Chains A and B, each alone.
Chain A
């Protein structure tokens, strides 16, 4: 193949892929454009594919009808707290499982791993009853505590920390560093890729989690956004403009988290999926 044919093929393939990527982004664009259109315009049968964006009313209204920003702030708070805790706990456990020895290590690790294939349906009813017994309904403890140990997270960190050489740790020990110091000053900084991958997933999973927060929180001031969106769709099902606006805003935080961590993300996934 000559250099110029190669160049032509390269351009054609790239353009084709960009055309294909339209499929993934057009729904978002459609939602975003529609969020600036009045309801009458959105539901017009004779209208074009994209309704004409002419108004900011939808955004002005969602605070009134949805208490949107309250729910939004609640979700940001819970997802952030949970993400930080899950990453820290997963890293500690990953370190313990990969670099320390104790009786029953493999059995315990196997148990943690097996939670990944445990359907939510199995534990949700007993956990629900447990939260009622603890008196944790309508508190954020019920949203944070039961999901702190992530099988996926522990697995990811065990893989990546396992690949850090023992010599580094031994050398630090000879210098008199304790476990905690080795963990915080050596292991954590070397686990940037896993932290990035887990941050993206944990934030997303907590941001989109629906059933558990729906069961736990009934106080509308403490409600999370995913539950709110679903609920207000029932109440104001015909206020499409408002729902479009609220949904558009609801995807922004996860995209920000992704953009912050995306550089290390692929490498983080690679350590988790390899071998």
Chain B
């Protein structure tokens, strides 16, 4: 900082030799690297570090902005959250939602990528584009389309299947309906990631396997699948992180209903924060979600690491 001022003062002086040396000094201080790093650190402190700190602090307060309340309560919010039945129900719903969405996303994504990368299939670019359509369309719009498709009166799903199910109003079918919509929306992303992974597979290993007389299934089990593990891990982890945070499809399609049957953890936080204005409770929940996300991510990296060694 003193350097900057010093050279700025000097630069103001008329002596020409001094000016050029001052300029060089300024040039050395205001490099692309320094500007980028300093701005990043400042930006990070203001828009990331400080909010994270505030969230932790807020979770220890009875905090309601509508009545201007911010009172220290220690760990009361956490105790309340962890003894709240709805919190655990939402957590369970989130687990179910994430598990099935990820499972189908991975299996469908891999199967389609294998097919699309085989020589047997024609019109690959068109097919890839079609499968990718749902992924590149906005979630709010797509949630509406599916809400209408599930409509028992005019929705096309009941009309096609001949069923008479009130999908989003029936506690047995509401969560499966949201999961179906999520799988439909997201499998294309996994397909594209797997396609990229398959493109990068080494050809010679496959030639060797062919010479050894390995059949398709053996090749798939012992070569393709293990080599694609980094891709699978990437998909599972990014999916998990995003499904733990999913709320838009719930907000649009079911509003957590019927009753509280499709409450997920992030929808519950949304509900607490921006419908009930219990900022303290919502902050405590978000801290728990943050810790949970971190633990699950690390566990998954660990688990996958152990497998490779075995």
Cross-chain contact A17 with B138 (CB below 8 angstroms) = no
**Measured CA separation A267–B142 after assembly (Å):** 27
Contacts of A28 in B (CB 8 A): 133, 137, 145
B149: chain A residues within 8 A (beta carbon): 27, 30
- In the complex, residue of chain B having the shortest beta-carbon distance to the beta carbon of A240: B148
> Is A189 in contact with chain B by the CB < 8 A criterion?
no
Chain A contact patch, size range: 35 or more
- Alpha-carbon distance A262/B130, docked complex (angstroms): 12
Residue in B47, B112, B184, B252 whose beta carbon sits within 8 Å of that of A146 in the complex: B47
B266 engages A273 (CB within 8 Å):
no
Task: Identify which of A24, A25, A108, A125 gathers the most chain B CB atoms within 10 Å of its CB.
Answer: A125
Judge whether B283 and A251 touch: CB under 8 Å: no
Q: Is B200 an interface residue (CB 8 A)?
A: yes
A14 contacts B122, CB within 8 Å? yes
- Residues from chain A with Cβ under 8 Å of B283 in the complex: 125
Cβ of A79 to closest chain B Cβ, rounded Å: 10
A-B contact count (CB 8 A): 239
Q: In chain A between 13 and 42, which residues have their CB closer than 8 angstroms to a CB of chain B?
A: 13-14, 17-18, 20-21, 23-28, 30-31, 34, 42
Question: Which residue of the partner chain A has the closest CB to B127?
Answer: A17
Mind listing 13 A-B residue pairs with CB under 8 Å? A49-B159, A49-B160, A125-B54, A126-B54, A126-B55, A148-B43, A178-B32, A211-B274, A230-B140, A240-B148, A251-B141, A269-B192, A273-B231
Chain B positions within 8 Å of A, measured between CB atoms, are 31-33, 36-37, 40-41, 43-44, 47-48, 50-52, 54-55, 58, 65, 112, 115-116, 118-123, 127-134, 136-142, 144-146, 148-149, 153-154, 156, 159-160, 184, 188, 192-193, 195-197, 199-200, 230-231, 234, 241, 244-245, 247-248, 251-252, 266, 269-270, 273-274, 279, 282-283, 285-287, 289-290, 293-294, 297
Shortest 3 CB-CB contacts between residues of A and residues of B = A208-B138, A126-B54, A270-B196
Interface of A toward B, CB cutoff 8 Å: 6, 9-11, 13-14, 17-18, 20-21, 23-28, 30-31, 34, 42-45, 47-51, 92-93, 95-96, 100, 102, 108, 111-112, 115-127, 129-130, 145-146, 148-149, 178-180, 183, 200, 204, 207-208, 210-211, 215, 226, 229-230, 233, 240, 243-244, 247, 250-251, 254-255, 257-258, 262, 265-267, 269-270, 273-275
